């Protein structure tokens, strides 16, 4: 009879990038990270979908500009067909159109290729836990874009949010993960999750990236 183990489950990850010179070293580096198993490396979106269909996958690290099927379409397909698989975008592009398209397609995280290994690993773990991680440059661009447009609070902020839910909503819009929100508000992570579940239900928010967009649109972030 085998002894029980307390070792955390290995997160199964796909690395998708059309450039082998990027894809292969990144897969090798991530494969040496604790708690991460790279199960496939894909050169385009069709290979990503095939790999996800063939075996369990937790997270796809997705480039945007790829031939055959790009990262936006692959992310959209994954969101529709395999919603349990989280997508973290890793790309050289940080323009408004790319960011909004990726988040709109269902990506839970968005990093530029300036991100270090620890940042990428952190984003993968956060995405697998249902959280969102945005590169600082990406977050700044989203904030700048939102602030350049007239705010529409009535469209994004339900009137029955409690003061604490509003605080949590604001911090989500700033890109903070649950642990950081808990530390900032001096409450437990479990309490943060309860507030998030409540405000998601009240606002009809489907996931973390959607919450970030809604918070920005409401002028909270």
* Spatial separation of the C-alpha atoms in residues 136 and 109, rounded to whole Å: 11
DSSP letter (8 states) at residue 191: H
Are 128 and 58 a contacting pair, CB within 8 Å?
yes
Query: What pLDDT shows up at residue 77?
Result: 93
> Mean pLDDT over residues 195-217, rounded?
82
* Spatial separation of the C-alpha atoms in residues 61 and 120, rounded to whole Å: 9
pTM for the model stands at 0.69
Query: pLDDT-derived band of residue 211, with 50, 70 and 90 as boundaries?
Result: confident
**Total residues belonging to the chain:** 221
pLDDT-above-70 percentage for the chain:
88
Alpha helices in the chain, H assignment, sequence order? 20-31, 45-54, 71-81, 96-105, 117-128, 136-147, 153-156, 163-173, 178-185, 189-203, 208-217
Structure-derived torsion over alpha carbons of residues 85, 86, 92, 97, reported in degrees to the nearest 10: 100
* Spatial separation of the C-alpha atoms in residues 87 and 178, rounded to whole Å: 19
Query: What's the pLDDT tens digit per position in 166-185?
Result: 999 988 877 777 888 888 89
Are 70 and 45 a contacting pair, CB within 8 Å?
yes
Query: pLDDT-derived band of residue 50, with 50, 70 and 90 as boundaries?
Result: very high
* Spatial separation of the C-alpha atoms in residues 59 and 12, rounded to whole Å: 7
């Amino acid at each position: 009879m085998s002894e029980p183990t307390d070792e955390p489950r290995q997160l199964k990850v796909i690395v998708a990038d059309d450039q082998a010179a990027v894809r292969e070293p990144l897969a090798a580096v991530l494969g040496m990270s604790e708690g991460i198993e790279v199960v496939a490396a894909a050169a385009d979106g069709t290979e990503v979908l095939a790999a996800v269909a063939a075996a369990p996958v937790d997270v796809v690290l997705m480039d945007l500009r790829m031939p055959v099927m790009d990262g936006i379409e692959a992310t959209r397909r994954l969101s529709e067909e395999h919603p349990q698989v989280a997508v973290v975008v890793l790309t050289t592009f940080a323009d408004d159109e790319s960011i909004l398209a990726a988040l709109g397609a269902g990506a839970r995280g968005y990093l530029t290729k300036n991100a270090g290994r620890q940042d990428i690993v952190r984003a993968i773990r956060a995405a697998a836990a249902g959280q969102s991680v945005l590169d600082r440059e990406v977050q700044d661009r989203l904030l700048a874009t939102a602030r350049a447009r007239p705010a529409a609070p009535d469209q994004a902020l339900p009137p029955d949010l409690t003061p604490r839910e509003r605080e949590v909503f604001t911090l989500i819009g700033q890109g903070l993960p649950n642990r950081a929100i808990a530390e900032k508000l001096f409450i437990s992570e479990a309490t943060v999750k309860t507030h998030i579940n409540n405000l998601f239900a009240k606002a009809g928010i489907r996931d973390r990236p959607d919450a970030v967009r809604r918070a920005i649109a409401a002028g909270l972030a």
